[in-house]
Each structure stands twice: as structure tokens, then as C-alpha cells.
């Protein structure tokens, strides 16, 4: 699936905007994420740190939770925005969670500059765990 210029710009702008709401008192590393679902809705999330570090929620997983809570099940693309010079990649846990809802999704990575790195989730996570096992899923990106 190829994103239109409008979809790409909308996702990048949403990720950059929600990044400003991140709660990162320890790391000061603000991250925003936005998702485009198969029904053309956009959902956002930001990282939320916790004094008990293991309870910290990444922006990508916060956005997935928001989408699922609103009934979305298929994600076509995700944008991840940071304030680094070079765009950052999602962590391994986020890659796995994203794969649950669209193993073939596009991933847009942005830092403080104008560069947008475009990858596929399959490039970032070539063999995700699935409910079907052995890298299988039911054809819509959701392993069951």
C-alpha cells in the first residue's frame, strides 16, 4: 500500500503535534506516534514515562491502544516523531505490537529536520511472533 502525499503529511504532522504532549520527566525524550487505519482514521499517542521504568508506555503502543479502543483493527501506516537529528526507529516491543495489527504497514520516521525515512514494518521486524505460529497470520495482518 502506498500512501498519498496528503496521508503522509497528515500522519507526520499528527505525530509531531502529539509529541509535544509526551510525559518524559526522566529521559526528556519526547516521542509522538500517529497511525492510519484501513478506514482512513488517524489515531495518536505519545510516550508516558513512569518512576517504575518498566511501566513506561511508548508512543507507538499508546497510539495502538487508542485505535483499538475505538474499534480499529487494521493499521496501514505509522509515523514516529522525535526531536533527534536522525529519525529514531521503534523499539522491539513496539515493532511486535504493531505487527499484530498490520505486518505490511508503512513506517514513517521523522526527526527534527525535513527528512522522512520510509520503511516497511517487515523490514524492521521480518519474522514477528503470531498467534498462527511460524510467521503466519490470517491474511489481514492480524495473526489469529
Catalytic one among 49, 60, 86, 127? 60
Cα 49 versus chain centre, distance: 17
| Residue-wise burial string across 25-54, b where 16 or more C-beta atoms lie within 10 A, e elsewhere | eeeeebbbbbbbbeeeebbbbbbbbeeeee
Within a 13 Å sphere around the CA of 13, how many CA atoms are in the beta-carbon half? 7
Give yes or no: 60 in active site: yes
Residue numbers annotated as active site: 60
Amino acid at each position: 500500500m502506498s500512501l498519498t502525499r496528503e496521508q503522509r503529511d497528515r500522519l507526520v504532522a499528527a505525530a509531531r503535534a502529539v509529541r509535544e504532549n509526551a510525559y518524559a520527566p526522566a529521559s526528556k525524550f519526547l516521542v509522538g506516534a500517529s497511525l492510519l487505519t484501513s478506514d482512513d482514521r488517524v489515531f495518536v499517542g505519545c510516550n508516558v514515562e513512569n518512576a517504575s521504568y518498566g511501566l513506561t508506555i511508548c508512543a507507538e503502543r499508546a497510539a495502538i491502544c487508542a485505535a483499538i479502543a475505538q474499534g480499529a483493527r487494521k493499521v496501514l501506516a505509522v509515523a514516529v516523531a522525535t526531536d533527534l537529528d536522525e529519525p529514531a526507529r521503534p523499539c522491539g516491543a513496539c515493532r511486535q505490537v504493531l505487527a499484530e495489527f498490520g505486518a505490511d504497514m508503512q513506517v514513517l520516521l521523522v526527526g527534527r529536520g525535513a527528512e522522512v525515512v520510509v520503511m516497511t514494518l517487515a523490514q524492521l521486524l521480518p519474522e514477528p511472533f503470531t498467534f498462527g505460529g511460524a510467521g503466519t497470520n490470517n491474511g489481514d495482518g492480524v495473526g489469529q
